[in-house]
Amino acid sequence: MKERAVTIRVQGQVQGVGFRPFVWQLAQEFGVRGRVWNDAEGVGIEASGAGLEAFVAAISARAPKLARVDAVEISGFAGELPEGFEIAPSRGRGAETRVTPDAATCPACVAEIAEPGRRQGYAFTNCTQCGPRFSILKGLPYDRAQTTMAAFPMCPDCRAEYEDPADRRFHAQPVACPTCGPRLWFEVSGTELPGDPIAQAVACLRAGGVVAVKGIGGFHLACDARNPAAVALLRARKRRPAKPLAVMARRADLAALAEVTEADLALLSDPAAPIVLLRSRRTLPEGIAPGMAALGVLLPYTPLHHLLLEAFGGPLVMTSGNLSGEPQVIGNAEARTKLAGFADGFLMHDREIARRLDDSVERSQPPMILRRARGRVPGTLPLPPGFADAPQVLALGGQMKGAICLVKNGQALLGHHLGDLDATLSADEFVKAVADYRALFDHAPALVAVDAHPGYRATQAGQAMGLPVAEVWHHHAHLAACLAENLWPLDGGKVAGIVLDGTGLGPDGTLWGGEVLLGDYHGFTRAAHLRPAPLIGGDRAAREPWRNALARLDQAGLADWADALFAQAPRDLLRQAAARGINAPLSSSAGRLFDAFAAVLGLCPMAQSYEGEAAMRLEALAQDGGAGLPFAQRGALIDPAPIWAEARRALQAGASPAELSGRFHLGLAQAFAAAARDLVARGEARAVALSGGCFQNALLHDLTIRALGETPVLTHRVTPANDGGLALGQATVAAANALRGVESR
């Protein structure tokens, strides 16, 4: 009797993770003959043998660490099979499969660069379980010829490893060694210096200098994190006076720098190797993260980083190498031009970076991604039930924290962080990224989804594509993004969305930002919102917190307190502008309310040096002060007017700014939670969803969940609550309405 033969189709993140040699090893173990190959849909297998059933079961149960198996489909096979089991060449081009993100150096490769052997000290060591992936990829299927490693022909030793199915470097596309692979050098003023480049970089760092270090997704600027003068020098050169700097540290150094929980350590050690926000022990200079309780820390994630940190013997500042407001530098010539004024030396290599990838930024408790980038992209998310027949959609996000989203075959691919599109070069990178993703993933959208604000560059780009356009209101997109991440079904019913952020255009023509929405993917109503106040000076109000404090205090009948607090500011001019409605649009922004309260407490009142500085300092300052400050609920309005008189009274009675900050956070959380909870209690909503950039504030996030009590709550964990997740929401709103055959707006 002829043995049963099958075709097995494995879909998911199964290329660039050692999946074919894994299947080959399973075939040896279970006595199966046949073949395995990569193609546009993932991994294909044709197999037969006595152990076939166990072989099939092991494919998903024992998949490689970096793999993500979405589906294993089996059908009959009637063709010829080889006597043994072979790894066949890749078939076809295009992209129905997932692409593996870049992965931090695995323990085996870390050990290898430290031990005698041909890769000891080699900065580009990798295997099927680690190394560059998306950052070097030019096309699919994922083969060396379609990566930036194509420029480095393998030597006989590397070729032997690459072709041996039993070797951990079998078909590891970036495989290399000092004989045939990329090389490292140190240069000053455009001239390469002879000698050990790691030792030269370390000497520069120990002398208090700044070194530009070329990594996987771009250049970093590094300096000694323990040297206040070096940190101050880097800040002065980069014109970055206060924005927190990330620190790269060896595992052994972590305990001295921050309080590290098991969850923190697990996240730091993840193959994505993100920057993780930890509670600082304040052992590093204050200049690392002025006014912050948290410290952004990441472990070395490339062999180059491991070699540099070990040789240096301590933590290094490792911040993006770019001009202020511009994208991260990735090319050697670009670095020499743009970073010459920042760096005293350059640690360079000759492997091309195919796309700019900033470091991801995350928190373990509560679990959340603040910036989704290197190590997390281009991982896909399954669409919720009901979206299986959704058309291909391209969503372009907003103006800030740009990121795009592609919907195809029941999956959503949320792209990497592209920066703020106010900057021309970031806008140019956005256009390139759209073309790159569409080509790489063979994406042919039936429609494009954009923010309803006509002034956003992403919106204008979408309108110019010649495709049907779905305009999605900003805060509806935030709500839908949270629903989609939590796999809320298309017909799952309405939820109460608490959406707190900076600003976004609302259907009434005003700028929203402190909202309780009742809705689903198809639409929404505004159930409650923060009482609007004028943003005096428009965009300047986002940069100068005192303007928001003036507007809110005047609104509360406390103009005399504003006069006392901001005596040197041009208050009369601003009041006249507000009264006449001159460049003073009304806004319900929760973000601007944070700014106002911070200004009243003396936190950077006259100017913020970076977005969110006042609110972040306010969160860092907060201590338990007792009862929340009182917000008034007047119909649909959540009015903050009462908080100001109470704050003034408490300060006069001797309360500390830290206690007032705690009471502000609690009062805000309770006010919005009450409005959302009532919708659930009345049966109008089935759950509460928290979205918008303000919910990256861990304290506000926690207090709001506590205030919601037993009410079911949906939160962001693997997509940003801020505008970095906006495109996911736009895509699902557009897809839902396309399925129903109606306009998104």
For residue 154, the one-letter residue type is: M
Contact (Cβ atoms closer than 8 angstroms) between residue 324 and residue 425: no
Residue type present at position 81: L
Q: Which class for 8: exposed (0-12), middle (13-18), buried (19 or more C-beta within 10 A)?
A: buried
Give yes or no: 20 in active site: yes
**β-pairing verdict for 211-214 and 586-587:** unpaired
Q: How far apart are CA 526 and CA 519, in angstroms?
A: 9
Give 265's contacts (C-beta < 8 A, 6+ positions apart): 254
Whether residue 272 contacts residue 320, with contact meaning beta carbons closer than 8 Å, is answered with: no
Kindly write down the DSSP assignment for every residue of 241-258, as one continuous string.
SSS---EE--GGGHHHHE
In this structure, which long-range contacts are made by residues 736-740, counting pairs with CB atoms below 8 Å and at least 24 apart in sequence?
736/387, 736/390, 736/480, 736/490, 736/520, 736/521, 736/522, 737/470, 737/521, 737/522, 738/390, 738/391, 738/393, 738/446, 738/447, 738/470, 739/386, 739/387, 739/389, 739/390, 739/490, 740/522
Q: 227 φ, ψ to 5°?
A: -105, 105
Taking 3-state DSSP, the helix, strand and coil percentages for the chain, each rounded to the nearest 5, stand at 35, 20, 45
Query: Rounded distance, CA 174 to CA 653, Å?
Result: 65
* Tokens matching residue 540: 């300047």
Identified catalytic residue from 33, 35, 38, 575: 38
CA distance 55 to 78: 19
One-letter amino acid identity for 110? V
Terminus-to-terminus CA distance in the chain, angstroms? Answer: 62
> What's phi and psi for 603, nearest 5 deg?
-90, 110
Query: Is 38 designated active site?
Result: yes
Are 470 and 476 in contact, with CB atoms under 8 Å apart? no
> 281-311 burial, b if ≥16 CB within 10 A, otherwise e?
eeebbebbbbbbbbbbbbbbbbbbbbbbbeb
CA-to-CA distance for 567 and 279, rounded, in angstroms? 36
Write out the two tokens for 576. Answer: 């006249």
Please give the structure tokens belonging to residue 526.
Answer: 């505004």
Under 8 Å between Cβ of 591 and 501: yes
Instruction: Check if the beta carbon of residue 594 is closer than 8 Å to that of residue 552.
Output: no
Of 241, 239, 258, 256, the closest CA to residue 296 belongs to: 258
| Contact partners, residue 533, CB within 8 Å, separation at least 6 | 548, 551, 552, 555, 586, 587, 592
d(CA 22, CA 59): 8
Q: Quick check: 284 and 302 in contact, CB under 8 A?
A: no
CB 687 within 8 A of CB 711: yes
What sign does the dihedral 306-311-314-318 (CA atoms) show?
Answer: negative
CA–CA separation, 211 and 219 (whole Å): 10
Report, as residue numbers or ranges, the catalytic residues: 20, 38
